[in-house]
Structure 1
Amino acid sequence: MKTIGKWVLLLVVVVTVAVTLVSFYYSQFKQAETTQITTKTNPPVQTSGVKHQAPEPLTADIPIIPPAQVRPLIGINVNELHYEDASFPFVDLFRQSAPFKANVLELPDADKVEYDSQGWPLHLHGAKIATKFIGKMPPEALVEGDYVVLYDGTGSLSYGHGVEAISQSPNRDVIRLHKGEDGEINASLLINSMDDKDPIRHIRILPPGGICQDNPYLRVFTQADCQSGAAYLPFEQYYPSIRFTPEYLNYLKDFGTIRFMAMSGITRNPESHWSERPNMQEATWGGGYGERGAPLEIQVDLANRMQANAWFNLPHAADDDYVRQFATYVRDHLNPQVRIYVEYTNEVWNTSFSHSEYTQKKGIEAGFSINSVEAGYQYYIKRAGEVFAIWEQVFGGRERLTRVIGSWDTRPDISKKLLGEYAGAQIADAMAIAPYFGGNTKGYRESTTVDQIFDLTTAPDSFRSLPQVLEHVREQADIAHHYGLKLIAYEGGQGLVDWATREASQQPNPLFFAANRDSRMGELYTQLLNGWKDAGGELFMAFSSPRTCQWFGCWGLKEHIRQPRESAYKYNAVLNFMDAHRDWVLDTASPVQVVPSNQVNLPEEIPAEKKPHHPDDPLIVFRPAKDPERYFFLENPRTLDTLIAGQEWAKRDLFGKWEGKWDENYLYLTVRVYDESIKTDSENPEDDDSIEVYLDADNSRKASYDGVNDYRMIFAWGRKQVILDPKSPQTISSDLSYELKTTADGYVLEAKIPWKMLGVKIGVKSRIGVEVQVNDDDDGGKREQKISWLAREDNAMNDPRLFGVVLISGR
């Protein structure tokens, strides 16, 4: 009997445990599944079960408020998602944090951590991980008070920089934000430990307050603030339904069109398949190039809430299925009453972007030209036409679409090629440029007062001054209208920036910041917009949403989302212009040819002539080498982009950039080569991977080498010293030094060449002849291809007239 009693007791225990487990399972997981089916706005789907989680959010219908006034042809570019973004688009601050994988705090052993496909940690393996969710932010940009951190899973969180933990309990912390010694707010979050069976995920960082249900444009803090009697919706409970901060929506409500290029994260992003796009389940949408990007669902939702026209940019490598899926989602979910601007990639002419390199590579592969820039332009038009055709097919016509071709504001010659020679006008409705004023970098560096900055920005003879930019606008309008297209601006505004700087404190940055904070800048914006409208320009997309002033520019109309209108002179000027031009609205009809053909310089067929350049025609400048740590830093490089030997060119396997700097003793030369394979098996260095540098030190530019100071130098892998062409002087100075170093995607040459060896004394305004070329061997044996900077034939080893002229600059 005792034995039977023991078995009965054991059976009761087993049944009790089983019932408990089943009950727990249904209370936790099945309840979560049911919630995901029935709620209107869901939290990110988990990749594995979570045992402990914060309370499910509540849902509410947020009304869409019609625009209070007619919105004229002024739109806005919304920003990339990053922890330094001062526009704060999302109620959940974690949406713009850096991915944990990026390890922005550079914690040790972080590379040991395993992550799921959405970026949440699965196993820490004894390491800690961290992210930043606010960076370099003025305190007034953020609302004071208690911020709530919610998370699912089991583990330990801590906080860094200016974050104070007020209270911590399972799945809910309360924090406050404080400025640091530099007067700015920085904020970070760390995961110190966690239960691998119940890992931490779905982190949300929610600010104080909420909204009244009938007014998504105003932050309030209690039910008493909702004087209309509408329900008070706290952010902590209703964050998925509210989604966007009221300050952000209030800022956007005045703009009739939103351009999502930066927010979508397409810049330097290699995604090509629909499955690679940003998605709603990702841990964060912030990060660096190639990481960040708001899902299309977010872009469409924002446009719908604002009842704004939407401008979408398709990634440069997107395949046809990606384009079709994108267009289909927009067709099915975007407000059918708004207009859609479709643009393939962004700024293909800008060689600092990988999408420029991509289009050039594809153009070379298609055989459009031996010059990669020209080939890239032609491929751009071809692919843009294919993208537009897919959208037209999905929408069943072009009634809602404006097909956009982008061009360079100060290069009407490129516009003529794109629209005329390459037939872009046949596939597009509008040509878009970016009229930025303020580009006299040399003058700005010599300036000591803000008055001088404004003088240079408005002087007719100053480079990229406002008068010059408006003259370009008039010329570009004539070109667009001649081809029956509208002229619109994909970006525009002031462009005060010195790309050679790296710190906000470096001159002339403090003067740039002061100029942007001066009421005179608002006056210039008024002149810009009036000049644009008077020239025949239409939709003008200002750049950009609020962002702080940093070394790379003061691009925001406001410096942060909460800056008052009266102190944000650029923003105030734009709103005042809109108030004065409420009748300047969208005309969906295409313009007729309004410019007689004899008043427009039509594009001509320009053959790839191999004529020598004139000796007195400088093409670029060499700037002084002042900082030893930056002698070989590429600050304003030139591209090696012309195929002069070989039949095929895979540009990712062969591409280059180069730059020269100088002082009274040396020429400092940097050549950066992108090459997937380095070969050193040939007796002839030209048949291996190598760099050829051509120098005509006195710029005599004769038809043959003079034997005095005309040099052809070959820097080849596996050689102990530089190789001189037999036609060059054969003395190698002991002061000549160089290093060939491998990089993650190729190699780099850093050479220090003494002027004494070249037989010249160099000073400001001196001229020298230069050419740079790269040999490429992919499989051993003979060279496969060769690319150049300037020469369009492989004969620079015989003819110095194929070199380019370089001016020695004092700045």
Structure 2
Amino acid sequence: MIKACHSGGSRWAIACLLLLGGAMVKPAAAFYNSSSALGTNTNEIMDDDSSAPFIDLMKMSLPFREARPLNKGNIEYDRNGWPTRISAGGQVGTRFVSKLPAGTIPSGSYTVLYEGEGKLEYGNDATVQNQAPGRDVIILDPGKDNELNATLYIKATDPANPVRNIRILPPGGVCASNPFQRVAAAGQCRGDYLSFEQHSGKIIFNPDYLTFMRDYRVIRFMNMSGITRNPVYAWEDRASIDQQTWGGAEGIRGAPMEVMVELANRLHADPWFSLPHAASNDFIRRFAEYVQVNLDPSLKVYVEYSNEVWNGVFTQHAYAKQQGVQMGLDPDPNQAAYKFYSKRSVDVFGIWEQVFQGNKRVVRVMSGLVGSTQMTKTILSYNGAYRFTDAYAVAPYVFGDANALRKARSVADIFRVMTDPKYPHSLPSELNSVRKQADVTKSFGVDLIAYEGGQHLVEMTTKSDNQHPNNLFYAANRDPKMASIYQQLLTGWKQAGGKLFVHFSSPRIYRKYGSFGTKEYITQPDSQAPKHRALLAFTRANPCWWSGCSGNNLVRQAKPAITLETMKTQSEPLDATAPQYEPIYGEPPPFSIGNIPPEASTAQESTLVSMRSAPNEQYVVGGNALIRKVRSRASVWQGASAYQLRNVVSGSIDGKQDLAALWQASWDQQNLYVRIGVEDDKPAVNDSTVPWEDDAVELYLDADASMAAQYDQRNDFHFIFNLKNGTVALGKNSPRGARLQLNQKLTRSANGYVLEVMLPWSALGVSPRSGHRLGLDVHVDDDDDGGDRDGKLTWKAKQDDAWQNPSLFGGAILGD
């Protein structure tokens, strides 16, 4: 139900067309979730998401920019990710489905629609049936491996009218009166047939996905919205309907809010929004305004600041810790993080309450670790936050004990570990933690709900899907005994005083990253999905039992007078046995995630973190370095993270005693600041005719992160700093005729040097803002004995070709 569309250009026009067109008739069957006690988490939008939420497969594809192995030549993109120019002989490609079990989506003829002029080709399990300008027909067939993989290539595009707005649509359609049922042809409808090809902007959602989702009263959009490790700050950087895809890596993927609100409306399900940790107040307010105008007024909305801010593997935890310490909220960094989370949550709630004019449709949610009542007390008591909070959410996951699971040799062993009271996360132990949490939240007048929960059989140290104990985990999740585990968990949750339970998660493939899906794929028969059967049986036998659960408005608890004993908190370590990693599929980050290093004092201005201990590196969005905004004009490096160079790509480096290096960066609206610190046992060897054969520093920048295989002659730069004479040269593949007015400062010491560089954004051709991406790398050349260099150390490149291949650079993102 879309009540209004805002003005503001083509983007809003497209949004209004898509969503107004989507206001289809809701059958009565869509509303039988009104008394459901359960919600579900959505999945990350990726090309291997077996929940397949959208009919247009392009919306789940890998972004062209990310698909480097499929790309050739020089490629330029528009702001939405569509290629506008491809060099002769080049191509740009994407995977639009990957590893989907046969039957997840229909096999057969798919229609590919597009605008512009160019040439498309297809690969893997996609073959061309016929082609015409603007419309191809392809056959998708999983083949003998019973798995569907498909790729699309743009082999040529007209720069004056480039190929864009590609849609990949399945055969058949729906009847407008029943969008939950896929039909093959118009004859199966009573005059209201809508084909997928002609009405993709009106239908939007996979009918099989709608059928699955309609059993749940609440939809938590944390994964679909893509907020994890997402540094988005400004409103203009939010996910857009116009984007080539809503899929991709962390910090890139995410559905537009328009689509999430529309899904909630169609399912008549209360949406649960987790807001990005770095989002500005303006971002929060505009998001709330859109929801207030466009969400069905008979629905409530759950509002949460970020996700698992307590969890040390996430950058949102490091952000909260840094903010809390800077504000002096607590001398203990973890307690400071919890208090900042509490404070910022209340700020976010206040904005939503203001936008909704006090309407009790807003459910204000904070969350924490199920095994830590002290964390709960800290978060709810800080500055009386419980008075502005309706629900405290935890994640009751059952697995028993990680070490015991590694020793399992049968499915029976798995279930013994999951139910043995001696293990900290067995079923009885987890329910005991729930009872303790219920007592604490009740004392604050706050509901206890579950933001995630279910089984948690996963061994994150395994390197392959078939490595022990993964196959046992898959078998246990397919065993009828797992239904019994779920029935006992949900019944125990209710008896302990818990209310809404939001399961993790929607259908997804069982892999080494976990078996979290209630089904393995969206169309899997219920008979093969014991967890799904258990969830449905529970919610049908236990209609929601708390006051106001099925109504339009939230019934808030009266806030009690809080005693000093209730508010008493103390610092405590996190439960080391708790799952403190993200239960997702996709490669885990190939880097350690540490906390933001402490701010450097002015006295330390000319030095970097000592190489005697590894620095705390702050990575976001799947391995990009975070470059923070300048905190103080007196010290542009204050609070900046440090990154160590670890790759030897040329010659040899004999350990840290021979050569070690770090780099830092920060930014403001005028400049990018980069600092490289080097420890060298024999510094200042300079006898060669070219600087890179001596001790030298090379800085690589791709200002728009196009990361092509060749320099684009626009804003790909290779700077070579000559330590002998203090000059800087541009590598031969940098833009011809470039005249960069950069400032540099070299400070030498007995065992090395520090190089500081200031680069104006105007010369780089960039208008900086939080969330902007750069390609970046730092190389240090080392010569200990004269003549040619002895070795080269790099941050990201794994081969010494960055001088001619920007795709080897690392990535960086401007943060706040």
> Do these two structures clear the TM 0.5 threshold for a shared fold by scoring above it?
yes
Structure 2: how far apart are the matches of 1:449 and 1:520?
13
Structure 2: how far apart are the matches of 1:739 and 1:488?
53
Structure 1: how far apart are the matches of 2:603 and 2:328?
9
Counterpart of 1:137 in structure 2 is 100
Q: Secondary structure at the match of 2:277?
A: coil
- Residues 1:73 and 2:37 are matched in the alignment: yes
Q: Secondary structure at the match of 1:499?
A: coil
Matched residue type, 2:180: Y
The answer as to whether partners of 1:209 and 1:222 remain within 8 angstroms in 2 is yes
Counterpart of 2:117 in structure 1 is 154
Structure 1: how far apart are the matches of 2:224 and 2:487?
27
Matched residue type, 1:361: Q
Counterpart of 2:568 in structure 1 is 603
Q: Secondary structure at the match of 1:290?
A: coil
Q: C-alpha displacement at 1:538, in angstroms?
A: 0.6
- Residues 1:94 and 2:58 are matched in the alignment: yes
Q: Secondary structure at the match of 2:103?
A: helix
The answer as to whether partners of 1:60 and 1:238 remain within 8 angstroms in 2 is no
Counterpart of 1:429 in structure 2 is 390
1:181-237 alpha-carbon deviations (Å, 9 max, x no partner): 6542111111011111111001000011111121111101022222xx242211111
Counterpart of 1:113 in structure 2 is 75
Structure 1: how far apart are the matches of 2:380 and 2:255?
32
Q: Secondary structure at the match of 1:301?
A: helix
Q: C-alpha displacement at 1:451, in angstroms?
A: 0.9
Structure 1: how far apart are the matches of 2:400 and 2:481?
17
The answer as to whether partners of 1:370 and 1:644 remain within 8 angstroms in 2 is no
The structure-2 alpha-carbon separation of the partners of 1:406 and 1:189, relative to structure 1 and needing over 3 Å to count, comes to same
Matched residue type, 2:555: A
Counterpart of 2:353 in structure 1 is 392
The answer as to whether partners of 1:429 and 1:485 remain within 8 angstroms in 2 is yes
Q: Which deviates the most, 441-450 or 173-182?
A: 173-182
**Which blocks of at least 5 consecutive residues in structure 2 are unaligned?**
1-8, 578-587, 619-625, 629-639, 647-652, 666-674, 679-744, 754-816
The answer as to whether partners of 2:322 and 2:596 remain within 8 angstroms in 1 is no
Counterpart of 1:224 in structure 2 is 187
Counterpart of 1:166 in structure 2 is 129
The structure-2 alpha-carbon separation of the partners of 1:526 and 1:636, relative to structure 1 and needing over 3 Å to count, comes to farther
The answer as to whether partners of 1:36 and 1:42 remain within 8 angstroms in 2 is no
Q: C-alpha displacement at 1:106, in angstroms?
A: 4.5
Counterpart of 1:589 in structure 2 is 555
Q: Secondary structure at the match of 1:191?
A: strand
The answer as to whether partners of 1:656 and 1:672 remain within 8 angstroms in 2 is no
The structure-2 alpha-carbon separation of the partners of 1:168 and 1:743, relative to structure 1 and needing over 3 Å to count, comes to farther
**Which blocks of at least 5 consecutive residues in structure 1 are unaligned?**
1-33, 45-57, 621-632, 659-668, 678-688, 692-714, 716-721, 723-733, 750-777, 784-811
Q: C-alpha displacement at 1:516, in angstroms?
A: 0.8
Q: Secondary structure at the match of 1:322?
A: helix
The structure-2 alpha-carbon separation of the partners of 1:166 and 1:645, relative to structure 1 and needing over 3 Å to count, comes to closer
Q: C-alpha displacement at 1:495, in angstroms?
A: 0.8
The structure-2 alpha-carbon separation of the partners of 1:656 and 1:282, relative to structure 1 and needing over 3 Å to count, comes to farther
Show the 5 A alignment for 1:599-678. 602-604=567-569, 639=594, 672-674=616-618
Which of 540, 554, 564 is the equivalent residue of 2:525?
564
Matched residue type, 1:569: P
Structure 2: how far apart are the matches of 1:649 and 1:427?
43
The answer as to whether partners of 2:18 and 2:202 remain within 8 angstroms in 1 is no
Counterpart of 1:361 in structure 2 is 322
The structure-2 alpha-carbon separation of the partners of 1:176 and 1:634, relative to structure 1 and needing over 3 Å to count, comes to closer
Q: Secondary structure at the match of 2:287?
A: helix
The structure-2 alpha-carbon separation of the partners of 1:373 and 1:139, relative to structure 1 and needing over 3 Å to count, comes to same
Structure 2: how far apart are the matches of 1:281 and 1:35?
9
Q: C-alpha displacement at 1:460, in angstroms?
A: 0.6
The structure-2 alpha-carbon separation of the partners of 1:532 and 1:173, relative to structure 1 and needing over 3 Å to count, comes to same
1:306-329 alpha-carbon deviations (Å, 9 max, x no partner): 111111111111111111111111
Counterpart of 1:271 in structure 2 is 232
The answer as to whether partners of 1:136 and 1:184 remain within 8 angstroms in 2 is yes
Counterpart of 2:502 in structure 1 is 541
Q: C-alpha displacement at 1:439, in angstroms?
A: 4.8
Show the 5 A alignment for 1:296-695. 296-421=257-382, 423-584=384-545, 586-587=548-549, 588-591=554-557, 602-604=567-569, 639=594, 672-674=616-618
Matched residue type, 1:513: Y
Structure 2: how far apart are the matches of 1:326 and 1:517?
40
The answer as to whether partners of 2:36 and 2:215 remain within 8 angstroms in 1 is no
Structure 1: how far apart are the matches of 2:599 and 2:23?
63
Counterpart of 1:207 in structure 2 is 170
The answer as to whether partners of 2:611 and 2:661 remain within 8 angstroms in 1 is no
1:608-629 alpha-carbon deviations (Å, 9 max, x no partner): 9xxxx9xxxx999xxxxxxxxx
Q: C-alpha displacement at 1:497, in angstroms?
A: 0.8
Q: Secondary structure at the match of 2:434?
A: helix
The answer as to whether partners of 1:213 and 1:230 remain within 8 angstroms in 2 is no
Structure 1: how far apart are the matches of 2:22 and 2:65?
34
How many residue pairs were aligned?
A: 622
The answer as to whether partners of 2:617 and 2:641 remain within 8 angstroms in 1 is no
1:574-599 alpha-carbon deviations (Å, 9 max, x no partner): 0000110125254433345799979x
Q: Secondary structure at the match of 2:202?
A: helix
Q: C-alpha displacement at 1:368, in angstroms?
A: 2.0
Q: C-alpha displacement at 1:41, in angstroms?
A: 6.1
Query: Percent identity, aligned pairs only?
Result: 37
1:96-145 alpha-carbon deviations (Å, 9 max, x no partner): 11111112534343xx3111111111111232111111111111212121
Counterpart of 2:715 in structure 1 is none
Structure 2: how far apart are the matches of 1:42 and 1:237?
14
Q: C-alpha displacement at 1:65, in angstroms?
A: 2.4
Q: C-alpha displacement at 1:179, in angstroms?
A: 2.6
Q: C-alpha displacement at 1:291, in angstroms?
A: 0.6
Structure 1: how far apart are the matches of 2:490 and 2:337?
32
Counterpart of 2:47 in structure 1 is 83
Structure 1: how far apart are the matches of 2:342 and 2:747?
36
Q: Secondary structure at the match of 1:151?
A: strand
The answer as to whether partners of 1:40 and 1:59 remain within 8 angstroms in 2 is no
Structure 2: how far apart are the matches of 1:283 and 1:550?
28
Structure 2: how far apart are the matches of 1:86 and 1:747?
44
Structure 2: how far apart are the matches of 1:392 and 1:315?
18
Show the 5 A alignment for 1:210-289. 210-226=173-189, 229-289=190-250
Q: Secondary structure at the match of 2:493?
A: helix
The answer as to whether partners of 1:364 and 1:375 remain within 8 angstroms in 2 is yes
Larger radius of gyration: 1
Q: C-alpha displacement at 1:168, in angstroms?
A: 1.5
The structure-2 alpha-carbon separation of the partners of 1:188 and 1:151, relative to structure 1 and needing over 3 Å to count, comes to same
The answer as to whether partners of 2:60 and 2:245 remain within 8 angstroms in 1 is yes
The structure-2 alpha-carbon separation of the partners of 1:486 and 1:38, relative to structure 1 and needing over 3 Å to count, comes to closer
Q: Secondary structure at the match of 2:370?
A: coil
Q: Secondary structure at the match of 1:237?
A: coil
Q: Secondary structure at the match of 2:199?
A: helix
Matched residue type, 1:330: V
Q: C-alpha displacement at 1:635, in angstroms?
A: 8.5
Q: C-alpha displacement at 1:605, in angstroms?
A: 5.7
Structure 1: how far apart are the matches of 2:11 and 2:627?
47
The structure-2 alpha-carbon separation of the partners of 1:654 and 1:240, relative to structure 1 and needing over 3 Å to count, comes to farther
The answer as to whether partners of 2:313 and 2:593 remain within 8 angstroms in 1 is no
In the superposition, the TM-score normalised over structure 1's length comes to 0.70
The answer as to whether partners of 1:271 and 1:277 remain within 8 angstroms in 2 is yes
Matched residue type, 1:346: N
